Every structure is written in C-alpha cells, then in structure tokens.
Amino acid sequence: MITISILGSGKVAHHLILNFLEQDNIKLQQVYARTPNKVKDLVAHNQIISDINDLLPADIFIIAVSDDAIEEVSASIPIKNAFIVHTSGTKPMEAIANTDRKGVFYMLQTFSLDKDVDFSLIPYCIEASNPNDFTLLEKLALSFSERVYKISTDQRQSIHLAAVFVNNFTNHLYTIGEEICKENMVPFDILKPLILETANKIQVLSPKEAQTGPAARNDQSTIKRHLEALTDSNKKEIYQLITNSIQNN
C-alpha cells in the first residue's frame, strides 16, 4: 500500500484523485486545496485540507499545481524529509524545495476537466533524486501502466516541447479547420473521421511516410488556389510556412 497526498486542485489533480481512488494498492490520504470547493465532489470532506500545516505524513506528496507555484508549495510542506514530487513537464526536479528526496511524476497526456483519461494508456516519465524513491515512484506508475520511462529533466523538457507541437499546435490546426468549415456552412463533424485517422495512421507508419497532400507532392496549382482562398492573413502565413517546411523536409 502506497500512501499518497495530493497538493493541488486543477485538472491534473482532478484526474489523479479520480484514478488513485480506484486503485487498491494506493491510499489517497489527503488533498490540499486552497479552494476546497473544486475537489469537494471528488473526495470525502475530512480528506480535504486548506491549511498546508494540516498535512499528515505520507509515502509520496504529489504537487500538481501551476509550474510557478511548485517551489513555494513544496517549501511549505511541514513534514521533515518528505518525498515530494511534481508533475510538471518543464520544471527541473530541483524546483522542489525543503527536502533531499525530490522526484518528478510527469504524465505525458492532455487533461481536461470534462473528459475522462485512461490512466493505463499514459506514458509516465519519472525521475527521483535517490534510488529507493525512484523504485517507489516506479511502483506507483506501474500500478497503472506498463509505459513507465526513466526520463531526465533535460529529456522531459524536450518531450514537453515536442508535446506542444503534437498536441497544442495540432489542436490549433483543428480550430482553424473548424473556422474554415463554419465560414463555408459545412459541419465540422465532417472532418472528425479524418482527424482520427491522421492520428491513428502514425501509430503504424512513421509521420514522414504518412505525409500526403499538395505540399508533399509539390502540387503548385492547388497550393496557389488554397493561398488565394485564404483571406485571413494569419491562416495564409501558417499555410505558407508549413507548406515550405514539408517541402524542405
């Protein structure tokens, strides 16, 4: 049994709480939330604390707050020599203050409050400052999934950068697709199977092999017509830049 307390009440904390509660080998001890209302429907009243000084000892303290608050929250944990991990893709492990037992439990996935996340499909990128704590963190991750990776801070930061491209930027391209549909009175639903297949395809093909379209086949007349059709200068610029990038690849 691993005893865990969570510090935070945002999207990541929300999904951690939901999934930890379902796990037999995990005891979710306390949730520290500055705004307890955000988690009151998830955990029992007496497990929620809004004063960090009410924290009890636990095997792992998981800080799931905004990047800039990690240092301050970790410094406020009143337990001596606690094992404290954060869940950030970008902050170094060293951002954790006030203990020599530091770690990172980075779940490489996108979280929204309104959408369940299957924890068994998440890659867990873990790091810890000492071997025993690493083993404990690994045990925690393995209780959800086999996709557990030992990842250094440098690697994690590069993974996070890659994730911005394949997740945040991709989602913005979906937004542009939706806007173009709306302008032309076409339901956005019509693009959804294509979006899914695009993501499915690279589960079996490398993205380089999977590349198709006017840029890849240097179809200048289509590219020209598309650029003319795009009246929005921002969309035009994105079209031109990514088309060039595909062609130089």
Examine residue 75 and tell whether it contacts a second copy (CB under 8 A).
no
Examine residue 234 and tell whether it contacts a second copy (CB under 8 A).
yes
Report the distance separating Cα 1 and Cα 16, nearest Å: 16
Residue among 26, 35, 43 nearest 8 (CA) = 35
Report the distance separating Cα 37 and Cα 172, nearest Å: 31
Between 97 and 230, CB nearer to a second copy? 230
Between 80 and 208, CB nearer to a second copy? 208
Residues numbered 11-30 forming contacts with a second copy, rule: CB under 8 A: none
Binding mask 156-195 for a second copy (x = CB under 8 A): -xxx-xxxxxxxxxxxxxxxxxx-xx-xxxx-xxxxxxxx
Q: C-alpha 175: how far from its chain's center?
A: 19
Pairing mode of beta strands 60-63, 148-150? unpaired
**Non-local CB neighbours of 11 within 8 Å, separated by 6+ positions:** 111, 112, 113
Q: CB of 176: closest distance to a second copy in angstroms?
A: 5
Q: Enumerate helices (H) and strands (E) in the chain, giving the number of each.
A: 9, 8
Between 20 and 111, CB nearer to a second copy? 111
Distances in Å between the Cα of 224 and the Cα atoms of 74, 124, 132, 150, 237 are: 55, 44, 60, 47, 13
Examine residue 242 and tell whether it contacts a second copy (CB under 8 A).
yes
Pairing mode of beta strands 148-150, 2-7? unpaired
Residues numbered 83-102 forming contacts with a second copy, rule: CB under 8 A: 90
Contacting range for a second copy; rule: CB under 8 A; set: 24-32, 37-45, 49-57, 218-226: 218-226
Which of 1, 25, 81, 204 is the binder for a second copy (CB under 8 A)? 204
Between 61 and 89, CB nearer to a second copy? 89
Residues numbered 101-160 forming contacts with a second copy, rule: CB under 8 A: 108-112, 114-115, 117, 121-123, 125, 147, 149, 151, 154-155, 157-159
Report the distance separating Cα 4 and Cα 60, nearest Å: 5
Q: CB of 54: closest distance to a second copy in angstroms?
A: 29
Q: CB of 5: closest distance to a second copy in angstroms?
A: 25
